[in-house]
A and B are shown apart, each in its own frame.
Chain A
Amino acid sequence: MIYLARRFGFYVVTAWAAITINFFIPRLMPGNPVELLLSRLSQAGPVTPGMRNALAVAFGLNTHSSLLTQYFQYWGQLFHGNLGTSITYYPSSVASVIASALPWTIGLVGTATVIAFVLGTVIGTIAAWRRGSFLDVALPATAFLQALPYFWVGLVAIELFSIKLGWFPLSGGYDAGLSTNLSGAFLGSASVHALLPAFTVVITSMAGWMVGQRNVMITTLDQDYVLVAQAKGVSQRRVMISYAARNAILPNFASFAQALGFVVSGALLVELVFSYPGIGYVLLNAVNNEDFPMMEAIFLIIVLAVLAANFIADLVYVVLDPRARQEA
């Protein structure tokens, strides 16, 4: 379990780094965002001393105290879950807006990522196994898919499937008339609304997994143990799945961390295109309203979510790779 402990330690350090970056960005940037934020906040509604104080701690209005004191105050505020007041969604707190948007994003990105990973790995395995077949010819086509901007694929998907064909709803996360509870009608509506955004993420992110798996698999197929397995007459399907693909998946899985960052970034834009009620859509509104508290909080929450997902991936990796288990 030393492997997992080390990974966990790394994530803690990364979270600390992200929070520290977040602390320093507004303080290093030109101009004083706090004045701007206060004036914008007062346009949205009355500003309580608490709101003012929260802004000051987060963005450095309190220039009398030292940077170190500010830093500790900032941490104190984070531990209380106080991320400030949103300008866009005044008077809701940033934390409450994120709490209501996060499940949508996790549901959409999580499902789409798992589907894309499984599909990409399976197709990549077969493409490596059958080199010279049509799948190799399809490689440039998948490279093209990978090259398309996520959000642009979303735009085209809306045009084709929602407007022209009318198969899917145009935008949103569920039918406007329904209330958000766990009723069958709501869940059905939510799934129908999620199909097209999920399809967009799967189509654009699958190719990366596929090419990765194919390239590692081709190298693995050259290993002696694959040769031995074939020589002793193990069935072809078993050689492909249990010998070659089983080992080829490890590096691909290990690069999950980096890929996930890209998928999350892309999915944020997909949400925006579909007006999907997740973090990405909130982020767009925050950008349009120069809602810095919201943007910084979203950055933090995305980092934390990605770190959590990475840790889950590490847990699975320990199950897949005995070397990670024995490392002591």
Chain B
Amino acid sequence: MTLLETAVSADVRSQKPAARSGVWAWLRRSRWVTAGLILLGIFVVIAIFGSTIAPDDPSAIGLQSLAPPSAHHLLGTTQTGQDVLSQLLIGAQSTLLIGFMTGLIATALSVIVGVSAGYFGGNGGELLSLLSNIFLVIPGLPLLIVLASYVPHASWWVFALVLSLVGWAWGARVLRAQTLAFRQQDFVQAAKAAGESNWRIIMYEILPNEVAIVATSFVFTVVYAIGFYVALCFLGLGNINTWSWGTMLYYAQSNQAITSGAWWWYVPPGIAVALLILGLVMLNFGIDEFINPRLRAAGLTRRDLRMASKQQGITPVLGTRPVPSLAFTQYTATTTNGRRPR
């Protein structure tokens, strides 16, 4: 979230006034972005103040073993009588920290690799592209398991580094493709002809136009990092001294919470992971809709869409879309009326 905000503000500084209000207005208007940011905001607050609002010490062993939710323990207790709610609140911190740290490191890596591979091209570019394709095909989790087993119970920044090392490739590939496309376009050629340095062209001409893609790849990487961090902790490879949602699930699974019917032990951490990722995914939907205006039509009422398609031809696109051929559009608007996809 923080990166998105800085990304947006960076965009505001560097782009033309028209484009500026476009991004900003869209982000504010999009229901996906609003909903995603609200969900994320809740989790960020929990991550920061979790240890203050937690009712109990999450590791304190109590007398009530596997007590169902009650007024005293809102989410019940574990087998050793620990308070599940406290573990849940405190567990948010490491999960979010590692997720966002990985997002930052991996996105920085993917911007460096992707943009330079696309902009400079040549054998070096091909090699970098090959490297990112290799990392894309190799399944992440088995590699992470091997790496994490060698450094058992590592601190959070080791996890962030390892996850970044495995997860930078997706963003790099997308950014390379986009940079390759930009390299041929007039504004870059013009800047080159004007004698601007490569560094300046990348920073001021190309990157500002890739803000949305960088933001998507950041959010995507955070999703991936959270998912895999939870999985590693679930396997017992996390830091046992830090509470996290994956660690909670690990203890629940290894203490037969499922067969003893203690749903309050393993359901809350799973829901928490899902809600956090859902917030991020909704944010990404919003950014996707910004990149691809055709997707914006989704989620509108049928009537809106029919109105839009009457005006603009077969595919309803809201907002400013260049109409390719007016005569043809009008022709189809009358002939396919009522038979076109809603």
Contact = CB atoms under 8 A, between A and B. Distances in A.
Given A130-B341, A140-B282, A147-B273, A30 B151 contact: yes
A299 B142 contact: yes
Contacts of B305: 131-132
A136 B299 contact: yes
Contacts of B252: 155
Residue of A33, A131, A144, A170 with highest tally of chain B CB at under 10 A = A131
A290 B149 contact: yes
B136 interface: yes
Contacts of B237: 287
Contacts of B130: 10, 13
B278 interface: yes
B231 interface: yes
Q: Which of A10, A230, A288 has the most CB of B within 10 A?
A: A230
Nearest to B136: A258
A92 interface: no
Interface string A140-157: 100110111101110110
Main secondary structure of the interface of B (DSSP, over half): helix
A219 B340 CA distance: 15
Interface string B194-223: 000000000000000000000000000001
A327 interface: no
Contacts of B298: 131-132, 136, 139, 218
B314 A148 contact: no
Contacts of B22: none
Interface in B144-174: 145-147, 149-151, 170
Contacts of A257: 136-137
Contacts of B249: 149, 151-152, 155
Q: Chain A CB within 10 Å — which of B143, B253, B269, B276 has the most?
A: B143
Given A283-B142, A307-B137, A273 B253 contact: yes
Interface in A13-41: 13-14, 17-18, 21-22, 25-26, 29-31, 33
Nearest to B324: A224
Nearest to B143: A299
B295 A218 contact: yes
Contacts of B29: none
Interface in A288-306: 288, 290, 292, 295-296, 298-299, 302-303, 306
A144 B278 contact: yes
A209 B161 CA distance: 29
A206 interface: no
B339 A230 contact: yes
A69 interface: no
B270 A152 contact: yes
A321 interface: no
Nearest to A170: B259
Interface stretch (B106-114, B179-187, B328-336): B328-336
A14 B137 contact: yes
B278 A287 contact: no
B22 to A, nearest CB: 20
Interface in B279-314: 281-282, 285, 288, 292, 294-295, 297-302, 304-305, 313-314
Given A25-B147, A219-B292, A265 B341 contact: no
Given A26-B150, A230-B336, A303 B138 contact: yes
A307 B136 CA distance: 11
Contacts of A227: 313-314, 328, 332
A163 interface: yes
B333 to A, nearest CB: 11
Interface in B225-252: 227-228, 230-231, 234-237, 249, 252
Contacts of A230: 314, 332, 336, 339-340
A269 interface: yes
Interface residues of B toward A: which range? Answer: 35 or more
A308 to B, nearest CB: 11
A159 B332 CA distance: 54
A268 B141 contact: yes
A108 to B, nearest CB: 15
B138 A18 contact: yes
Nearest to A215: B295
Interface string A158-199: 110001000000100000000000000000000000000000
A98 to B, nearest CB: 12
A71 interface: no
Given A136-B299, A155-B253, A265-B139, A231 B336 contact: yes
Contacts of B38: none
B61 interface: no
Contacts of B300: 131-132
Contacts of B304: 132
Instruction: Give me the 3 closest cross-chain CB pairs, A-B, nearest first.
Output: A265-B141, A152-B270, A147-B277
22 contacts: A14-B133, A17-B138, A30-B151, A140-B282, A149-B234, A149-B273, A151-B249, A152-B274, A155-B270, A222-B315, A227-B313, A230-B340, A231-B335, A257-B136, A262-B139, A262-B140, A269-B231, A269-B235, A283-B145, A295-B149, A298-B142, A310-B137
